[in-house]
A and B are shown apart, each in its own frame.
Chain A
Amino acid sequence: METILHYINLVLYVEPLRLLLYLAGLIMFVAANAAYLVLLERKVAGHIQLRIGPKENGPFGLLQPLADGIKLMTKQLLTPSGIDPILFRIAPVMVMVPAIMSFVVIPFSDSIVARNMDIGLLVVLAFATINFLGLLLGAWGSRNKYAIMSAARVVSQNIAYEIPMLVTIVAIIMVSGSLNMHTIVSQQLGGFWQWNLLNIKASLLMPAAFLIMFICMLAETNRAPFDLVEAESELVAGPFIEYSSMGFGLFFMAEYSNIVIGACLATILFLGGWGCPFGILPGVHWFLIKIYLLIFMVVWIRWTFPRTTFYGLLNLSWKVLIPVSFVNLILTSAMLKVF
């Protein structure tokens, strides 16, 4: 009887409250990241390009995201004639919501996780695919030729890089024996030599697998040098071409949220999550340091490299990434069998 009461208490009062707090926290985390990653991007771009970037609003331009947000929200939301009204309006939501939802299962530290699911990894990958449906439908609903061309690119790009990414992740799952991200990280705690990145006991190709994962993450988030979907000099703005105001804002926020998710995933799968590289003081700070280092890499690459072509990405994916990731998979399974 008492256990039942306790259970009801937990469900009715504590658990919903906890989830509500986590939800608010995650939305704030996503929004703050989206806003301040734009600032980071502009600052880094500025310093790479012999400029200093935004500096007028607040100290070091720290209030610039606020000004940008107010500008975006107060702009008129234009809907061109001839669009598909439902798809056009639903697409930004379809891109933004999965981006927030993915954070639910990501363990930021040993104790900070909204829902510790046994199929956590699968949830993140499933939501990542919905994101593409949003881009495709938004582009389709815009009734713009540039948008439709970019929609075609979205689909074939999606197929091209998701295969190597999934195959690489399958290798990691075989090593850890679990889809639970908390478990995956727990196995890598204790120092950088425990990380999956350097887990050459499982497969000699693990560093290459991390590279594949990183490249696929760049392609997934449409970042340079794989920003073919929104290639400015070819397709003007790709799927967002007809969007204004917060419709565009949501796409933009989702893009940066996806970068954070990609960095989180790479950190959890390969870089030992919240574990310290030297085995001391594990905690959420190490997780944040790792993801922001990866994000900085992403920004750095964007402002350094020109864009590849579309067939360049497909060639890279089908001729290099997929074979290497399959070799890695086979090697991993063989090593697991042997040892």
Chain B
Amino acid sequence: MSAIVEKLNDETFVLNLGPQHPATHGVLRVKLRMDGEYIVEAEPVLGYIHRMHEKMGENRTWIQYLPNTARLDYLHALAFNHVYVNAVERAAGIEVPQRAEYIRVITAELNRISSHLVWFGAFIMDLGGFSPLLYAFDDREQILDLLEAITGSRLTYCYFRFGGVSCDIDDQFITGSRAFVKRMRERLDMYRNLVTNNIITIKRLEDVGPITAEMCRKYGATGPVARGSGINFDVRRHEPYSVYPEFDFDIPVYHECDNMARYMVRMDEMEQSLRIIEQALDKLPDGPYLLPKAPRIVKPAKGDFYQAVESARGSLGLRIVSDGSNNAYRLKWRSPTFSNLSLFGEACIGMLLPDALALMGTLDLVIPEIDR
């Protein structure tokens, strides 16, 4: 008791950042202890949007749980689709047609770009620049229109099925995607000139917000956060799944460990995703988009399965424990943002509030994915 009183009896004060704050992008709450504008201590408080998705996974049948996967990360829903169907297919021993794998890669990469675009706009808005958001949303609109035409939804996709995808892609989608790739390359050049090379952006990002590789390992941070700290790890390359090994793409890695490195990783990743989409469209094989003999009722074998994919935010893992029945015995998500956010408390100590919020912006938080 006395220790707490003594501790608070100095010049610091507690600042409650969130759950409703423009910079936390959702219902994240951070308890900050501040010394003036310097952060002495930070503690993220979670649980405001907990919906028991893991418990739902135990109560619903395998196919019934599929729409839930889109509700976790509303920005890169197809990655969650992907990891779930991949895990169950592996457990149940379902073969996936080659065309379906290609369609999965194309749509997932398009979705990754749309996720990065939302991050780009929202992050620059965190820095106080409002206009790039609207431009990013203009690009994202093209992706949403493309995906809406084949998946039927614009945000919470439920497109992948055990043994394929729910609907084949048509010529309109293919030409539309090619046109988008061309358009997006020009737009990325524009963003580079207008936003990345802006003097204020550079001053706010370079040498600010250090996250070391050691810190990433300690907290299990993955994805662009780890790659901005010089850790060359991408699930698509190092634990390959689907048909990713057939494509030629680079893993952007930056060693500066600052905000700019994480920013550049994401901007470069968009280009790499465009490359993957282009190659996949070129190589797209004919054949069924859904296994004709795909079982209506999936009953995976008894056992313990883990599958990881690379979501827009990092390594997304799913562990399913099956007892051979209609639904999972246990289902556990390893969501990347949860680990990425965990390092915020250590990384932001001693920083000024505006810089700490810029650092939080580079973590690319999606709160429903953290809380599940």
User: Of all chain A residues, which has the CB nearest B14?
Assistant: A145
B21 in the interface (beta carbon within 8 A): yes
User: Of all chain A residues, which has the CB nearest B122?
Assistant: A233
Specify which chain A residues have a CB less than 8 angstroms from the CB of B23 in the assembled complex.
Answer: 233-234
- The complex places the Cα of A231 from the Cα of B355 at a distance, in Å, of 13
- The complex places the Cα of A310 from the Cα of B135 at a distance, in Å, of 27
Which B120-145 residues sit within 8 Å CB-CB of chain A?
124-131, 133-135, 138
B354 in the interface (beta carbon within 8 A): yes
Which listed residue (B13, B22, B138, B204) contacts A306, Cβ 8 A? B204
Specify which chain A residues have a CB less than 8 angstroms from the CB of B354 in the assembled complex.
Answer: 228, 231, 234, 307, 309-310
Q: B164-199 vs A: 1/0 string, CB under 8 Å? A: 000000000000000000000000000000000010
CB pair B128 A49 closer than 8 Å: no
Which listed residue (B22, B36, B127) contacts A307, Cβ 8 A? B127
User: Of all chain A residues, which has the CB nearest B353?
Assistant: A234
A50 in the interface (beta carbon within 8 A): yes
CB pair B134 A51 closer than 8 Å: yes
- The complex places the Cα of A309 from the Cα of B36 at a distance, in Å, of 15
Min Cβ gap B359→A in Å is: 12
CB pair A49 B200 closer than 8 Å: no
Q: A221-258 vs B: 1/0 string, CB under 8 Å? A: 00011011001111010000000000000000000000
Most buried by B among A233, A305, A312: A233
- Which DSSP category, helix, strand, loop or mixed, fits chain A's interface? loop
Min Cβ gap A48→B in Å is: 6
Specify which chain B residues have a CB less than 8 angstroms from the CB of A133 in the assembled complex.
Answer: none
Specify which chain A residues have a CB less than 8 angstroms from the CB of B124 in the assembled complex.
Answer: 306
- The complex places the Cα of A224 from the Cα of B198 at a distance, in Å, of 14
Known: A308-B203, A308-B204. A231 touches B128 (CB 8 A): yes
| Inter-chain contact total with CB atoms closer than 8 Å | 77
Specify which chain A residues have a CB less than 8 angstroms from the CB of B8 in the assembled complex.
Answer: none
Min Cβ gap B130→A in Å is: 6
Chain A residues touching B, range: 20 to 34
CB pair A149 B204 closer than 8 Å: no
- The complex places the Cα of A231 from the Cα of B138 at a distance, in Å, of 25
CB pair A303 B130 closer than 8 Å: yes
A79 in the interface (beta carbon within 8 A): no
CB pair A232 B22 closer than 8 Å: yes
Known: A305-B129, A306-B201. A311 touches B134 (CB 8 A): no
Min Cβ gap A103→B in Å is: 30
Min Cβ gap B18→A in Å is: 11
CB pair A306 B127 closer than 8 Å: yes
Specify which chain B residues have a CB less than 8 angstroms from the CB of A231 in the assembled complex.
Answer: 128, 354
Which listed residue (A48, A51, A227, A236) contacts B128, Cβ 8 A? A227
List 5 extra interface pairs beyond A306-B127, A309-B352, CB under 8 A.
A49-B133, A149-B37, A234-B357, A236-B22, A305-B198
Residues of A within 8 A of B (CB): 45, 48-51, 145-146, 149, 152, 224-225, 227-228, 231-234, 236, 303-312
